Amino acid sequence: MNRNKKGTARIRVLLVDDQRLMRDGLRTLLELEEDIEVVGEGENGALALEMEEALRPDVVLMDVRMPEMDGVEATRQLMARREDTKVIILTTFDDESIIFDGLRAGALGYLLKDVSGTELAEAIELAFDYRGDITVELKSGAHVTGYLFNRTATGEQPTIEIFPATSSGTLTIPFSEMVAIAFTGEDTATGKSWEAWSAKKESERRKDIDRAAAEAKSRGHL
Per-residue model confidence as pLDDT tens digits over 190-206: 444 445 555 555 666 66
Q: Tell which residue, 86, 82, 81, has the closest CA to residue 62.
A: 86
Mean pLDDT, rounded, for 146-157: 68
Q: What is the pTM of this model?
A: 0.62
Q: Tell which residue, 47, 35, 37, has the closest CA to residue 5.
A: 35
CA distance 54 to 12: 13
CA distance 112 to 99: 10
Q: Tell which residue, 146, 160, 35, 144, has the closest CA to residue 107.
A: 160
- Look at strands 171-174 and 159-164 and give their pairing: antiparallel
Contact assessment for residue 22 and residue 14, using Cβ atoms and an 8 Å cutoff: no
Residue 60 main-chain phi, psi, to 5 deg: -115, 125
Find all residues with CB under 8 Å of 26, minimum gap 6, and list them: 15, 17, 38, 61, 120
User: Looking at residue 125, what is its pLDDT?
Assistant: 84
* pLDDT category of residue 219 using cuts at 50, 70 and 90: confident
CA distance 211 to 38: 51
Contact assessment for residue 161 and residue 170, using Cβ atoms and an 8 Å cutoff: yes
* pLDDT category of residue 82 using cuts at 50, 70 and 90: confident
* Count of other CB atoms within 10 angstroms of residue 36: 21
Domains, the chain, with CATH or none: 11-128 (3.40.50.2300), 131-190 (2.30.30)
Name the residue with higher pLDDT: 27 or 136: 27
Residue 8 is given by DSSP the state: P
Q: Tell which residue, 74, 90, 100, has the closest CA to residue 29.
A: 90
pLDDT at 168 over 90: no
CA distance 66 to 46: 10
Instruction: Give, in order, the Cα–Cα distances in Å from 84 to each of 13, 31, 43.
Output: 14, 25, 22
Mean pLDDT, rounded, for 79-105: 79
User: Looking at residue 191, what is its pLDDT?
Assistant: 44
Element (H, E) at 138: strand 133-138
User: Looking at residue 41, what is its pLDDT?
Assistant: 95
Residue pLDDT, tens place only, 114-131: 888 888 888 888 777 665
pLDDT at 100 over 80: no
- Give percent of the chain with pLDDT exceeding 90: 28
